Chain A
Amino acid sequence: EVQLLESGGGLVQPGGSLRLSCAASGFTFSIYDMSWVRQAPGKGLEWVSAISGSHGYYADSMKGRFTISRDNSKNTLYLQMNSLRADDTAVYYCALHYGSGSYDYWGQGTLVTVSS
C-alpha cells in the first residue's frame, strides 16, 4: 500500500525557514517523480515544485526561495523553504506520479503558518 506522510510544518516568522519532509512507503521511491502541492486556508490547489531524478522544477513565486530534494536511501522527499512570507501559509501536500500522468497518491498534508 502506497503511503505518503508529511511532517515538518509549524509556525514560523516572516523571513524564516522550514524544512518539510515526506516519508514514502509501499513503492520503489527512487524511480518515481514526486511533487509538492499547497493549499492556502479555504483556497484551491497550487503546484509548488516537482523533482524528476535529481532535477527540481518550481513555480515562479517559489524560485530562489524553495528547494526540493530527495534521499532515496531514506525514501524521503524534502522541501526546504526559506524567506517565508505570510502568503506561503498553507497545507503542503506531497504527491506521487505513479504512472497515470497525474498525481495518483497524496499525503495527508502538513500545515505551515507564517506569522509574527
Chain B
Amino acid sequence: DIVMTQTPLSSPVTLGQPASISCRSTQSLVHSDGNTYLSWLQQRPGQPPRLLIYKISNRFSGVPDRFSGSGAGTDFTLKISRVEAEDVGVYYCMQATQLPYTFGQGTKLEIK
C-alpha cells in the first residue's frame, strides 16, 4: 500500500498569515494514464471531509483561491495564502492513484 506522510501534524497560525502543509508518498503517484491523483481534503470540526484540491493543483468548485496545491511525483504541498478563521480544521492529503486509496494522518490547523 502507498503510505502518505504529512508534516506538520499540527500548525498554529496567526490570522492573515500563510500556512503550508507537506505530504509525501512512499511511491510515485503518477498513474498509467498520466494523471497524478493527489488531492487535499478539509474537515472542519463536526463536519464530513470536503474536497479542496484535486490532481495536485486544481481547486474544486467553490474553493477560495487562497488555497493552492503544488508538487509532483512523491512530494506535494498545500498552501493557504492568508488563513481565515473558517479554515480551522484538519487537512488530509489523499492518493487515488492505486487501490487501496490512502490518506495522510491529517494536519490540524488552529489559530494562535
Contact = CB atoms under 8 A, between A and B. Distances in A.
Nearest to A46: B103
Interface residues of A, number: 22
B39 interface: yes
Interface stretch (A23-31, A64-72, A81-89, A100-108): A100-108
Nearest to A103: B51
A57 interface: yes
Contacts of A97: 96
A78 B51 CA distance: 22
Interface string B99-112: 11111111000000
A112 B104 CA distance: 23
Interface in B6-53: 35, 37, 39, 41, 48-51
Contacts of B49: 37, 45, 93, 103, 106
Given A44-B92, A44-B106, A102 B100 contact: no
B94 to A, nearest CB: 7
Interface of B: 35, 37, 39, 41, 48-51, 54-55, 58, 60, 90, 92, 94, 96, 99-106
Interface of A: 35, 37, 44-47, 50, 57, 59-60, 93, 97, 100-109
22 contacts: A35-B101, A44-B103, A44-B104, A44-B105, A45-B103, A46-B103, A47-B101, A47-B102, A47-B103, A57-B99, A93-B48, A97-B96, A100-B39, A100-B51, A100-B55, A101-B35, A101-B39, A101-B55, A103-B51, A105-B51, A106-B50, A106-B51
